[in-house]
Structure 1
């Protein structure tokens, strides 16, 4: 039996940290990334699968693994999939901003449709656990578009029969981004000021690696609840 991690959104702030944590964790024999383009990573455990998220349901993971097994390095993994002797944990840090998406429609497609499509796809391939990066304040009834979309994703994920669904709601994220987000930078300053005097600790900014560590910890240790929401303050314990 092989234990596999499948990751979407691996090129993002949390996704990169998630890969680092998964590479270090001996429990996982392989880490499979699912993305639109190749990632600038090379690691013994890593297998990269390139997909079109608009047609993900048509992609055969097994065929992709066979294609990547040119040198026979992953022959044991292919055999394990063929014999259904794999334990799969799926991690989703997929998301964008309205600025990058350029419209609410495109934002919804990426942050909602692609996430749900990925979840259904990995469930089809045998994933027992799904761990998703949502956001503090996620609520499908919210008047804030971003929070509303995140809330809808959470509710739709609950309809997919995973053995375990972990929903992570980080506050403002700290870490080294490739691009600068002015609004988020101002949010960090405000959040730090508020939490420095002990007010509203749930809004305390959190580092990307703390979220990633919390996700891996929950994947490996939490077996009791079918659906669990992990709030930002609960992730602050991971350093």
Structure 2
């Protein structure tokens, strides 16, 4: 039986993943810190704070697995600095806290094109986040790099709504993927014996593995 930490549980992928975790008999307890209170759910301990770091620091529950589904856009965050805080700083804070509490496997939603040398700010920050996690030398690290995510968001992103029809037609790793498929792949990887220390799942492979 596994004790799990999930950050980003109110997001598009996180909501699907939380439902899968609740339904899975291999999961005994789920720690889900959020800014907005979640409905009462079986196995879920919901810690509500405006800043995720305020929850992660004092956390003492031993953990086995950690899922990080945090993610925003620069427009949604309001500034470059706010975007970096969510997509880099809070991801690392999640990892550091989970490692302190004994977790052996970290699974993170990154993004297609993540690269520290990318000319695009979004992709560059994602690449820097991935590199920082690799330096922590996790016993097992899984990075999932979806392209545009499809699904019903609590708050719409105008740019993504406009681009979705195009991204549904693009080939390979550029093609949009369903958020529920990303969540399914994370669950499969979490409970599959490790093949290597670091696993990177590209967007084009997500539908085949879900």
The answer, yes or no, to whether TM exceeds 0.5 is yes
SS at 1:127 equivalent? coil
Q: Quick one: which of 156, 163, 177 aligns to 2:139?
A: 163
1:127 and 2:103 equivalent? yes
How do 1:80-95 residues align onto structure 2 when only pairs under 5 Å count? 81=62, 88-95=64-71
1:136 and 2:112 equivalent? yes
The match for 2:178 is 207
Segments of structure 1 that go 5 or more residues without pairing to the other structure are: 63-80, 82-86, 195-199
| 8 Å Cα contact 1:132-1:168 kept in structure 2 | yes
The match for 2:26 is 27
The match for 2:43 is 45
Query: Displacement, 1:222?
Result: 3.7
Segments of structure 2 that go 5 or more residues without pairing to the other structure are: none
The match for 2:84 is 108
**Separation in structure 2 between the aligned mates of residue 102 and residue 165 of structure 1, nearest angstrom:** 30
| 8 Å Cα contact 1:31-1:45 kept in structure 2 | yes
The alignment's TM-score, normalised by the length of structure 2, stands at 0.93
Query: Displacement, 1:46?
Result: 1.0
**Separation in structure 1 between the aligned mates of residue 203 and residue 56 of structure 2, nearest angstrom:** 32
Q: State the structure with more CA Rg.
A: 1
**Separation in structure 2 between the aligned mates of residue 89 and residue 170 of structure 1, nearest angstrom:** 21
CA offsets 1:48-71 (integer angstroms, 9 cap, x no match) = 123433445631334xxxxxxxxx
| RMSD after superposition | 1.6
